[in-house]
Structure 1
C-alpha cells in the first residue's frame, strides 16, 4: 500500500467513526386519515445533516397480517422483530448506513437509512432483501444532503413531541400505581414574550375552565412572562393529549411556549 493509499484510507476511517447519538422513541400520528406509528432516533436531529450521508434509502416491507387499520398485528410481532434484527445490521454494514427509524402505516413497514451516495449499491440491497422469502420487499432512494426528509417529514412536530413527553410522564405515574382515568388537579406552565400575549392567552384558557395558580416575570428568560394554570382533568393518554395539544396551540397562537404539566399520584 502506497503513501496516498494510507492517507485516503485513514480519511475514510475517520468519516466512518462519526459519533452517532441515540435517543429512540415512538410516536403516533395520522397520515392521509389513517393511523401511523414512527419509531425514530430523535437524537440525530442534534447532528443532522451529516455531510457524508447525503442520500436517504427506504426499504418497504409489506405486512403479512396487518390490522384492519393497516397497523402491525400481535400475530406478526415476532416475525417483524426477527426481520428487523436481520435487515438493519446487514444494510448498515453493506452500505455503511445510518439507520434513522421506521414507519408503520397502511399495511407497510418502512425502514429509513442515510448513506453516502458513492457507497449506495442497489445490488447489495437486492442481495439482502432476496434472503427474506417470507416478505414482499421493495426499496427506493433519493439524494437528500440536507436531511430534509428526516427533519421535515418524519421527525415529530411540536404536537407529536408533546405526546411523547406525555407518554413518559404517564409511564412514571403508572410505576407508582396511578389510576390515570381518575380526575385530579393538573397544573401547566406557559411562557410568553409580552404581557399582552399572556393576557390574551389567559382570556382564552379561562373560557375553558382553567384557573390561574401563579404569574411571574423573569427578565433573564427569552419568554419572561410566565403563568402556572390548573384544572381538574383525567390524565390517560387520549385525555392529556387533548388538553396539552389545546394549550400548546394557544401558546403558539400567542407567541408563547408550553412547558409541560404535573399532577399528584392518584392510586384509587
Structure 2
C-alpha cells in the first residue's frame, strides 16, 4: 500500500460487543485493499481503563490520555513493525487497539516503549495469524445498517460545517436503483403511502444489475434521529426488493424555523 496515495477514512460507531455497549473506530477505506498479503498477523493491544462508568466507558478526564496512548502506539508500531493501524474498540472497561503486521517477534519490545511513557496504565498484547483479515472485515467493520448510519453522519457533518440549521424542514432527496420495473413500482407504491414524492424514474443502461432508477423526496429536518429513521426505513425496504439504496442529499438551510 503506497502511503503517499492512500487516504484513510476513520470513523467511529456505536454497537454492542458481548451484549454491552461499545464504540468501534476503524479506517473504512482499508476495506478497498484488504487483505494486505504482507501484513497477515494481528496485534491486539489491551489497555484497562483507570476509571469506568456503569456503561463501561471512561470518565471524561481519561479521554486525553487514551488519545495520547493511541498516537504513540500507532507511531511506534507503524515504524518498528511496519504495522497497519486498522481499528480500536472501547467496551466493558477496556480500550483495545488492532494492527496488522509483517512480523510480531518485537511486539513486546515496542509495547514496553509505550508503557514506559504511561506508567499508570497496564498493557497486554496478543498476536495471531489472520491472512484473510477476518478481524478487520468481520469483527471491526460495521454491519450494513451501522455502515449506512456512518454515511448519514458524514452528510450531516458536512451540512453542519456549512452552517445548516437542522431544525429547518426541507426536502430530503433519496436515490435508489432496482433490478426491474416491477420491483421499482412495488417499492414506490409502498412508500407513496407514507407521503414520499416521486422526483424521477428512469432507465440507466450502464448499470447492468440495477438499472431502474428511482429518485424520491420527503420533507424533514436534518437532525440525526429523523434522518436515521428515514434512511434506515428506505434502505431496509430496498433490501426486500433487491434494490440498492444509493444515499441522500438536501439543501443547506441557514434560516430559522419561523421563516
Q: Normalised by the size of structure 2, how large is the TM-score?
A: 0.87
SS in 1 for 2:214: strand
As a proportion of its length, which structure holds more helix?
Answer: 1
1:104 aligns with 2:90: yes
Deviation, 1:126, is 5.1
Alignment partner, residue 183 of structure 1: 169
Could you say what the CA RMSD is over the residues aligned between the two structures, in angstroms?
Answer: 2.0
Q: Which residue of 2 aligns with 1:161?
A: 147
- CA deviations over 1:217-258 (Å, ceiling 9, x no partner): 122213111111111222211221121111111112211111
The aligned residue for residue 126 of structure 2 is: 140
Residues 103 and 35 from structure 1, CA distance in 2 versus in 1: closer, same or farther, beyond 3 angstroms? same
- 2 CA distance for matches of 1:201 and 1:29? 30
Structure 2 distance, partners of 1:246, 1:120, is 48
2:220 alignment counterpart = 233
Unaligned runs of 5+ in 1: 1-17
* 1:58-79 Cα deviation digits (max 9, x unpaired): 1111122334322344311211
Q: List gaps (5 residues or longer) in structure 2.
A: none
Which SS does the other structure have where 1:226 is aligned? Answer: strand
| Larger displacement relative to structure 2 (158-167 or 144-153) | 158-167
Q: Does 1:244 align with 2:231?
A: yes
Q: How many residues align?
A: 250
Query: Partner residue of 1:171?
Result: 157
The Cα shift of 1:125 comes to 4.9
**Contact map agreement 1:54 1:115 (CA 8 A) in 2:** yes
Q: Does 1:202 align with 2:188?
A: yes
Matched-pair contact (CA < 8 Å) for 2:111–2:123: no
Where does residue 261 of structure 1 map in the other structure? 248
Question: TM-score scaled to structure 1, two decimals?
Answer: 0.85
Distance in 2 separating the partners of 1:180 and 1:81: 30
SS in 1 for 2:46: strand
The corresponding residue for 1:28 is 13
Give me the whole-angstrom Cα distance separating, in 2, the residues matched to 1:130 and 1:186.
49
Shift of 1:138: 2.1
Correspondence 1:15-164 to 2 at 5 A: 18-20=1-3, 21-31=6-16, 32-116=18-102, 118-125=103-110, 127-128=112-113, 130-131=115-116, 132-164=118-150
Separation of aligned partners in 2, 1:176 and 1:22:
23
* SS in structure 1 of the partner of residue 198 of structure 2: strand
Q: Which has the larger radius of gyration?
A: 1
Q: Say if 1:183 and 1:234, in contact at 8 Å, map to a contact too.
A: yes
